[in-house]
Amino acid sequence: MGKTLAEKILSDKAGTDLHAGDIVIIPVDLVFAQDGTAPLAIRQFEACNFAKLAHPESTIFFLDHNAPTPTKELSNDHLLVRDFARKKGARLSDVGEGISHQVIAESYARPGDVIVGADSHTVSAGALGAFSPGMGSTDVAVALGLGKTWLRVPSSIKVIVNGRMQNGVSAKDLVLHLIGSIGADGATYMSLEFCGETIEGMTVSQRITIANMAVEAGAKTGLFPADETTRGCLEAQGRGECYRPLQPDADAGYDRVIEIDAAALEPMVAKPHAVDNTAPVTEVKGTTVQQVFIGTCTNGRLDDLQIAADMLRGKTCHHDTRLLVTPASRKVLLDAVKAGYVQTLIEAGAVILPPGCAGCVGMHQGILADGEVCISTANRNFRGRMGNPNSFIYLSSPATAAASALRGEITDPREVI
């Protein structure tokens, strides 16, 4: 039988023929941790008595979750990470450089790579054809020391998407629809593998939005083929030599096949307090929002900011609504400045926050008050996620978020564009 994308990447990396269910020790191309998980990974690395990093040049520490830090304890965690990275010769992506997943997509991930990161949204690199499961600090500590990890080769779900999305509908709506359909554990331990004409027509940025949220269905990885779009993206990044084509075999075996008609999709939201608690935006429109958050590894890229800027150009946010915008990386921020999006957004009343995870993690930069409602382009809306268990988070696309900022209530973007 042929191979899925996951089987293909892992077989190639292991140098042996692998199929779903096999347990394998596999070398890793890139290992990383972020400021929330790195201090523990560093302590576990030291507890394992590793003398040095297996591959310092392909080890990265990101300071993105609390960037810059709001407390002295987190500042001391940053100090620990900076010192360790310097002493061991690892790369450091410091405050302001951006969210790990975005920086990895911009500069590191290659089709066919195996990447492990101490962050659940490591799956984002699947958009470029990298097998990239999120792990915990101790697994990453051992990968830092040994340059390898162990894995069970996942079985796969094939998601075929055909049709043209209507105006105002985007990759975020597609992935919210998918998670709502299969549930937050619908792909646990599995690889979600995407194909179809809609997927072929998507930019890498849009693919990242989908790969990023594969974990919200429990998946180990969310994989896209590496195609001409991938090649174009890598070439634009100045690393076209990293490209290699990657497609699943036509006779690969899947546990399940899901077909989605993109033309039938509507703007979607995930309602409080679960990502799979999805509904069409029409069901909740009119819900008052005090805060709108556009950013994160899910939807903080240039095209996301462009959607918001286009919708808000020459207009102002509702007077009772705060709009927080966080570019996913320094590059996104600079590109958005050059394109004029930052000025447009500021003129519309937005607060521009430094590149990083910002309010998504619940430590700072937009903690909600009791009873407040936020509509966010992030990937999680668990109770307390944005720092207050007595607040409410709706997840949506950038278009729906920007439309909601204009009216101060959850708004169908098709009414505004």
Partner 1 sequence: MLRGKALKYGDSISTDHIQPGRYNYLRSNLTELATHAFEDVDSSFISRVRKGDFVVAGKNFGLGSSREHAPIIIKLAGVSAVLAKSAARIFFRNAINVGLPVLICDTDRISDGDDLEVDLESSIINDLSNGVQISFNKIPVVMLDILNEGGLVPYINKYGDYRI
Question: Binding partner 1 by CB under 8 A: which of 83, 181, 189, 197?
Answer: 189
40 makes contact with partner 1 (CB under 8 A): yes
Q: Which of residues 347-406 bind partner 1 (CB under 8 A)?
A: 361-363, 367, 380, 382-385, 387-389
Smaller CB distance to partner 1: residue 184 or 334?
Answer: 184
Is the preceding peptide bond at 318 cis, omega within 30 degrees of 0?
Answer: no
Beta bridge partners of 329: 98
Element (H, E) at 177: helix 171-182
Residues 114, 132 contacting (CB under 8 angstroms): yes
Any idea of the CA torsion for 366, 368, 372, 374, to the nearest 10 degrees?
A: 40
Least distance to partner 1, CB of residue 200, Å: 29
48 binds partner 1 (CB under 8 A): yes
How many C-beta atoms surround the C-beta of residue 236 within 10 A?
Answer: 10
- Judged by CB under 8 A, the chain residues 209 through 228 that form the site for partner 1 are 215, 218, 220
User: What number of CA atoms fall less than 13 Å from residue 171's CA on the CB side?
Assistant: 27
Find the shortest distance in angstroms from Cβ 50 to partner 1.
Answer: 8
CB contact at 8 A, 224 and 199? yes
Q: How far is the CB of 187 from partner 1 (least distance, A)?
A: 10
The answer to whether 188 contacts partner 1 (rule: CB under 8 A) is yes
Strands (E), 282-378: 291-295, 322-326, 350-352, 373-376
Q: Estimate to the nearest angstrom the gap between the alpha carbon of 146 and the chain centroid.
A: 27
> Rule CB under 8 A: which of 109-148 touch partner 1?
118-120, 122, 133-139, 141-142, 145-146, 148
Closest separation in Å from C-beta 84 to partner 1:
13
Rule CB under 8 A: which residues touch partner 1?
Answer: 23-25, 36-37, 39-40, 44, 47-49, 65-66, 70-71, 73-74, 76-77, 80, 118-120, 122, 133-139, 141-142, 145-146, 148, 150, 152, 184-185, 188-189, 215, 218, 220, 274, 361-363, 367, 380, 382-385, 387-389
